[in-house]
């Protein structure tokens, strides 16, 4: 009995010793690596250099002309002609309704109000706080209100001609862009 207890104590002490010594206060060092294939990943990390590709970049951009699933390429360019053409050819397929306007406002408040202001007069915080130097166009004045829906959609998608307003296409789904257009025309426009 005594021997068993002795062996048990010895093992416990050895275990405790291993536990204490295996901890390392140097957080930059992983300690003993006894399963290297779990510790170090076999594939190249996204941002690590890569000897396989001629430009040494691991995270290769998609092949030119690739279209993401569920996305349609946008056919117009960020030029004066492109904007005019979008105004002529694109139509808002969504019918105005309370739900659409509510969602349009929600999207507008998230993506546009910071510059154009909650009332759309260009009084957004980024501008009034002087963090953003260019005055955002008033969306309630005739200049924007008289634009066809497609032109406003175009500006949201690709940004303004001068580039002062950036493209929002990558952030906002096409359907939500059309909801914002309705909101700009049917709610903000009324407060003019
Ligand atoms: C970072 C600030 C900023 C954000 C965010 C922003 N805009 Fe703008 N917007 C501007 C500025 C600045 C201009 C004037 C740009 C110019 O004259 O080139 C402008 C111009 C416009 C115009 C007029 C374009 C024209 O043809 O003259 C429209 C329409 C517009 N914005 C709508 C929107 C909508 C809708 C959103 C939200 C999806 C939005 N903007 C988000 C800053 C912004």
- Centre of ligand 1 to C-alpha 164, Å, is 8
The reply to whether ligand 1 has any atom less than 6 angstroms from the CB of 100 is no
Q: Which stretches of the chain score pLDDT less than 70? A: 1, 23-24, 192
pLDDT, tens only, 52-85: 999 999 999 989 889 988 888 899 999 999 999 9
8 A C-beta contact, residue 92 and residue 176: no
114 Cα nearest atom in ligand 1? 5
The length of the chain is: 192
Which pLDDT score, from 0 to 100, does residue 6 have? 92
Which pLDDT score, from 0 to 100, does residue 118 have? 96
Which pLDDT score, from 0 to 100, does residue 192 have? 62
177 Cα nearest atom in ligand 1? 38
The reply to whether ligand 1 has any atom less than 6 angstroms from the CB of 90 is no
What whole-number distance in Å separates Cα of residue 151 and Cα of residue 174? 14
Structure tokens at 48: 């690590």
The reply to whether ligand 1 has any atom less than 6 angstroms from the CB of 165 is yes
8 A C-beta contact, residue 148 and residue 127: no
The reply to whether ligand 1 has any atom less than 6 angstroms from the CB of 137 is yes
Which pLDDT score, from 0 to 100, does residue 99 have? 97
What whole-number distance in Å separates Cα of residue 191 and Cα of residue 74? 32
Which pLDDT score, from 0 to 100, does residue 190 have? 83
The reply to whether ligand 1 has any atom less than 6 angstroms from the CB of 157 is no
Which pLDDT score, from 0 to 100, does residue 38 have? 79
What whole-number distance in Å separates Cα of residue 183 and Cα of residue 185? 5
CA-wise closest residue to 155 among 128, 126, 122, 181 = 181
What whole-number distance in Å separates Cα of residue 36 and Cα of residue 42? 10
Which pLDDT score, from 0 to 100, does residue 23 have? 66
């Amino acid at each position: 009995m005594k021997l068993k207890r002795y062996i048990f104590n010895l093992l416990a002490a050895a275990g405790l010793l291993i536990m204490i010594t295996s901890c390392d206060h140097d957080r930059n060092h992983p300690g003993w690596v006894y399963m290297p294939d779990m510790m170090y990943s076999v594939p190249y990390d996204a941002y690590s250099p890569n000897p396989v590709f001629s430009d040494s970049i691991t995270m290769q951009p998609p092949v030119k002309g690739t279209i993401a699933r569920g996305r349609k390429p946008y056919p117009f360019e960020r030029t004066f002609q492109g904007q005019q053409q979008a105004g002529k050819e694109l139509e808002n397929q969504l019918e105005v309704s309370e739900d659409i306007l509510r969602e349009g406002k929600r999207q507008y408040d998230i993506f546009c109000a910071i510059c154009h202001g909650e009332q759309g007069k260009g009084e957004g915080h980024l501008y009034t706080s002087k963090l953003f130097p260019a005055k955002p166009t008033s969306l309630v004045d005739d200049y924007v209100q008289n634009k066809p829906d497609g032109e406003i959609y175009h500006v949201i998608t690709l940004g303004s001609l001068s580039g002062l307003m950036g493209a929002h296409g990558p952030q906002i789904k096409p359907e939500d862009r059309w909801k914002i257009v309705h909101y700009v025309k049917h709610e903000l426009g009324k407060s003019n």
